Amino acid sequence: MTPLPAGAPDPVVIGPDGLRPADVVAVARDGAPVAVSPAAMAAVAASRGHIDALAAGTTPAYGVSTGFGALATRHIPPQRRRDLQRSVIRSHAAGSGPPVEAEVVRAMMLLRLKTLASGHTGVRAALVDAYAALLNAGLIPRVPEHGSLGCSGDLAPLAHVALVLMGEGEILDAEGRVSPAGPGLAGAGLAPVELQEKEGLALINGTDGMLGSLILSSHDLRRLCRTADLSTALSVEALLGTDRVFAADLHEPLRPHPGQATSAGNLLRLLHGSEIVASHRHGDPRVQDAYSLRCAPQVTGAVRDTLDHADLVAGRELRAVIDNPVVLADGRVESNGNFHGAPVAYVLDFLAIAAADLASMSERRTDRMLDAARSHGLPPFLAADPGVDSGHMIAQYTQAGIVAELKRLAAPASVDSIPSSAMQEDHVSMGWAAARKLRRSVDGLRRVLAIEVLTACRALDLRAPLHPAPATAAAVACMRTLVEGPGPDRYLAPEIDAAVDAVADGRLLAAAEEHTGPLQ
C-alpha cells in the first residue's frame, strides 16, 4: 500500500471495489489522504506488462505507438514515444479562465487515481505512486475553468493536473496565489515524472472533473433539501398555513414518490407543537393554502428523487474504468467510447433544473410574506415603519435576480454538442459545462433559501405572543445569535451573508434537528 507520512489520518483506500461518494467528499473537502491497496498495485503491474509487450511489437496501438484523435493514423517510432506522451500533456493543457475550485481539482485527481489503479489503463506502478503522492502532498494544480467538452474525457482540466506531475504548469496555495509547479514539487519532496508509453493518454482520458462535481453538488443538494423543508416550515407558520396537507395518508398511499413522503414527514416533525399552526386550526375561513406552501413536498420530494437517480449514476461511474484504450483481463488492448460523458452530463443538467425549481418556490413564499395583501396580518415588507422603512423588500429582489439566473442555468448543456478534432470527435457531451453551471446553481439555491429563512424568522418574531414549534423556534433562536430581530432598517447585506453561512455550514439545520432528530 502507498506509504503515508507518520501521524497522518486514516486514508481513503483505493482498491478493487472502487470508491463511495463519501470517500470523494472526504478527500476533496476534508483533505483526507489516499492509499492504493496491494491488490490494486498488483493489477497495475500486470496490465503494464501488456503495454510493454505492445510497445516492443510492430502492431499499431492507439496511445502507445500512434498519434491521438484525428492524428491516430500517424505511426510514432519507439525513440519518439516518450516525447509523444509529454507532448500530449503539454498540448492538451490548453484551458483558459479563472482557476477551478480546489475541492473540484482534488475530487478530479482522486477519481483519475482510481482509474489509474484499476489495472485497466496500462500505466506503471511508479506513476500510480507519484499521482497518489501529489494528492497527499496537498498541492493544488491550477486548472482553468474553460477547456473541456466532456468527451474523450475532461482532457484539458486533467492535462493541467498531469502537467504539474511532470514538474511543469502551475499550482495554487491556500490563498489562491499562483506559483510554478517545479519548485512546489521540490518543496514537497516530490520529483517530476517522466511519462512512458500510454501514460500521457491515461492521465487525461476520463470524466473525472464532471463526476467529481456531480458528487460534491449532490452532497450539497441533499442538505439543501432538508434546509428547504425547514424554510418551508418556517414560512408555513409565518403565513398562518396549515400542516394538515402534510399528513402521511395524503402522500405515500396516494402518490408513492418516496421523496414526497420524506419531505412531508419532515414538515410534520418540524411543525409539531406549533402554537401558531394550532391557533387557526379550527374555524379558519380559508380552504386551501397557496401552492408554494401546499405543494412543497411534491416539489422538494421530486428534487430528492432526482438526486436518487443522480446518485445511482454516480455510483455506477465510481465503479467504472474510464480510459481509451483499455487493457482487458485477457491482455487485449481495445479502443472504446466509455469516455463519453453523456450519462453524467444528463444528470448534471437534470439537477440544475431541480435546483432552479426549488429556488423558485422558495422565492414565492418569501414574496408572499412581504405582501400585506397576502401575508395575513404581517406589516408590508415586514418593515418597522412601512414607508420610512423598506424592511426586506430588496432582499426579495435579490432572490428574484438569483432565481432568474438559475432558470437560465437550467438550460441543458448536454444537448449543445460542437464537433472537434477535425470531425473525429463529432459528438461531445458538454458535461464539464453542465458541471460548472450546476455548482453555480447550488450556490444560488443556497442563497435563495437563506433569504427565505431570514425573512420567515423575522415574520415569526412579529407573530408574538404566539410561539412557533420547538424545532422552528430553535432555528429562529440560532438566527438571532447572528442577526438582530425586527426593527428599523439596517445594512441588510451582512445579515443575508450570515444567513447564507448558517445554511452552508448546517448550523440552522442542526438547531432544528435538536428537536426533531435527524431529518431525512
Give Cα separations from 496 to 118, 453, 503 (angstroms). 46, 10, 11
Kindly report the length of the chain: 520
CB 437 within 8 A of CB 196: no
Q: What's the angle, vertex CA 267, arms to CA 383 and CA 518, rounded to 5?
A: 110
Residue 291's CB is within 10 A of a number of other CB atoms, namely 12
Rounded distance, CA 360 to CA 407, Å?
Answer: 9
Alpha-carbon span 367 to 361, nearest angstrom? 10
CB 1 within 8 A of CB 35: yes
Measured between alpha carbons, how far is 467 from 381 in angstroms, rounded to an integer? 21
Task: Give me the phi and psi of 144, to 5 degrees please.
Answer: -65, 155
Q: Out of 62, 131, 291, 491, pick the active-site residue.
A: 62
62 part of the active site: yes
Alpha-carbon distance of 325 to 3, in angstroms, equals 29
DSSP state of 283: S
Find, among 120, 77, 149, 169, the residue nearest to 341 by Cα.
Answer: 149
C-alpha span between 404 and 402 (Å, rounded): 5
- Answer for the pair 204, 89: CB distance below 8 angstroms, yes or no: yes
Give CA–CA dist 358/301, Å, rounded. Answer: 10
Task: Please tell me whether residue 61 adopts helix, strand or coil conformation.
Answer: coil
User: What region, left, alpha or beta, does residue 421 occupy, with left being phi > 0 and alpha being psi -120 to 50 degrees?
Assistant: left
Interhelix angle 470-480/431-462, rounded to 10 degrees, is: 100
- Give the separation between CA 403 and CA 391, rounded to whole angstroms: 20
Neighbour-count burial of 183, counting CB atoms closer than 10 A to its CB (0-12 exposed, 13-18 middle, 19+ buried): exposed
- Cell numbers found for residue 39: 491488490
Among residues 483, 477, 471, the alpha carbon closest in space to that of 518 is found at 471
Question: How open is the CA angle 202-206-207, to the nearest 5 degrees?
Answer: 170
What's CA 504's distance to the chain center, in Å?
A: 13
- By annotation, the residues acting in catalysis are 62
